[in-house]
Every structure is written in structure tokens, then in C-alpha cells.
Amino acid sequence: MGLQRQCRGLLLLRLGFVLSAVGLCVHLYLEKSWRNQATSLTSPPTRSQTQQKSAEDSKRTEGGPTHLIHNRKSPRWHIDMEPWASESRSLEDEARRFLKYITAPQVSCLSEVRDGAMLTDVKGAWAVCLDPRYSLVHRMKEKRCRVYSFGLGADERSLEQSLATSGCDVHCFDPSLKQAHQQKAQMWLHRLSVDWRDPNPAIVAQQQHANTKKLATILNDFGHRQVDVLKADMESAEWKILENLILEGVLASVGQLLLEVHLHWAGFEVPGDEPSVVRYWFSLLRELQRAGFQLFHVYSDPNKPRVFLHRDAFNASSAYTLSWVNTQWL
């Protein structure tokens, strides 16, 4: 009886040693795995890993839709508002500062390759800069420039036609078109327009297609990384669209920006009293300048009424066509 108890105790002792050894092995294995995982998370990738990732990224962006825009900055939540024009915060002071800013070109366009320094439409309202200091004229020679033109029911497209004839890939966007996509006179026409927000997915599902999208979304859908010329006449939606381009960092993908601004009222979804509205307009244009854009052409249509925020004041036109060149596109 005593011998049986001794054997049983010895067996339990051996079993305890075995379990302890197994537990120690499991502990060491888990600790080693954890250390390897932590090292892989904190250590920089090797050169071969970086090259492999770059190759994979290149494959994803070759043709077809892409979900990455080149040089896109991180999205922001709000624009940087400029200080008030004066302590009085009056409409007169804000308007005079704003109007002086939009009627004074900041750079001139020089050219030795054409008769003029700029290529314009038949009225001289819309213009692109052909200064050899900037990229457009060189990309036109190489037949690799791209143009986006947004408008509502636009019939006059002489500038777009000239750019298409010069070898640019021209895309005209108009939500009133009957066909979704068609090619006409060396240009692509799309039943689509730009907006400062993407449509509600539920509404899109009901309508089967969306007629308006943000520029970043359009670029992604078309698989385009950049646009040499962006021309837009958005009938008072331009202020919120410009704000979206600034906040989402899309301006880095644009070489020249041609925009008609409307001053007869605040614009779609622009809040605040009249002095605040004009300060907001001015702050948007200053954001453009900080992003590297310089104003080179201003046009005021003499046939447009002289109306500024619902009043005949400041000898201002109700609409101006402004053209900027991105001086960082060299």
C-alpha cells in the first residue's frame, strides 16, 4: 500500500514537470512571436519591400479608375479666413479690397512660340497662358496636355476647340447632354458636371446615374491624375466648388484655373451678412495664391449688368472671368 502511494506520488511529480516544461515552451514561443510582430510594425521597410510596393502601386494606377490623385494633400476642415479689411468691417471696405484684388493681374504671360502671349476664345474672355516658363505650352507641343471644361448648356467652345486642335485631350462636361458620353469635333462630351459634394448614394441608386460629382471623384472615375487646364462657368456654384478644391487639396492637380465668378449675390450655400460674404470670397482667392496660383487675365463682360450683391454699387460688374496659372507647375 505504501509502495503504491510512492509510485503514484512520483508519477504526479513527473507529470507536473512535463506540464511545466510545456508551459515554458508555449510562453517562449508566444513571446518570440510578439517581438517579431512588434519589430515588423516599427522597423522601416527594406529596399526590396519598397520596390515591390511601388510596383504594385504602379500597376493599380495604370489605366482605369484609380483611387489616388498625385500630390493630393490631406483634407482640411475649413479655409483660413483673411483679417477684416478694416476695423469697421463695412461692406464698402471689403468690396473695394476684393475688387482691387480681382482686377489686378499678378503675372504677365510672355510667349515666343505664338503671335500672342495667350490663347483665348473668340470674345477674349477665357484665356490660357502660353508663357514658356510654365508647362502648358510644352505639353501642347508634346501632345500630352489635358483639359476639363465645365459649363451648363455651353454652346461656345472656341477655346476648347483650339486646344483640341493643338493636341490636347479635351473633356467637356455638361449635365444637360442627352448622351452619357460622346466624341464630337475632336473633343469628348460627358453628361456630367462638377459640384462641391458627391451625390447621396440612395438618390443615385434611384436615378441610376449621377449628373454632378466632386472634381476629385471625377478624376478618380476617369483615371486621370492631373489636368493642365480647368475651365468652369458654374453659375454661382463656383465659390463652394473652389472651397472644396482647396479643402481637399485638389488644386495641386491643376495647372491653370479659368473661372467665371458671379457677384450679384452670395452664391449657393454661402452664409453670412454681406461684409462676411465678400471677406469669404477674398479669403478663397488668397488661398489660391498661397497654393501657387497667380492671376494673369481678367475679363469683365460689358453686356452684363453692373450689380454687386443685389445693388448698383462700386462700379462693379456682376460677373468676371478670371484666369490663374499654377506657378509651381514648371
Residue recorded with cell 440612395: 202
Tell me how far apart the alpha carbons of residues 294 and 309 are, in angstroms, rounded to a whole number: 26
Pairing label, strands 227-232, 293-300? unpaired
Among 140, 125, 80, 133, residue whose Cα is nearest residue 258: 125
Positions in the chain whose pLDDT score sits under 50: 30, 34-70, 206, 208
Backbone phi, psi, residue 58, to 5°:
-65, -40
pLDDT of residue 110: 79
Amino acid at 113: V
Handedness of CA 225, 229, 235, 236 (dihedral sign): positive
Residue where the block lists cell 512520483: 10
The residue to which cell 500672342 is assigned: 116
The pLDDT assigned to 136 comes to 94
Residue 298 β-bridge partners: 322
Write down the CATH number for the domain with range 61-326. 3.40.50
Q: Given this model, what pLDDT does residue 222 score? A: 95
pLDDT at position 65 is 32
Instruction: Delimit the domains of the chain by residue range.
Output: 2-43, 61-326
Q: What is the pLDDT of residue 25?
A: 56
Residues 6+ apart with CB under 8 A from 240: 196, 267, 268, 269, 270
198's CB contacts (< 8 A; 6+ apart) are 210, 213, 214, 217
Contact 120, 317 (CB under 8 A): no
Q: What angle do CA 167, 168, 169 make, to 5 degrees?
A: 120
pLDDT digit string, tens, across residues 134-193: 999 999 999 999 999 998 765 679 999 999 999 999 999 998 888 889 998 889 999 999
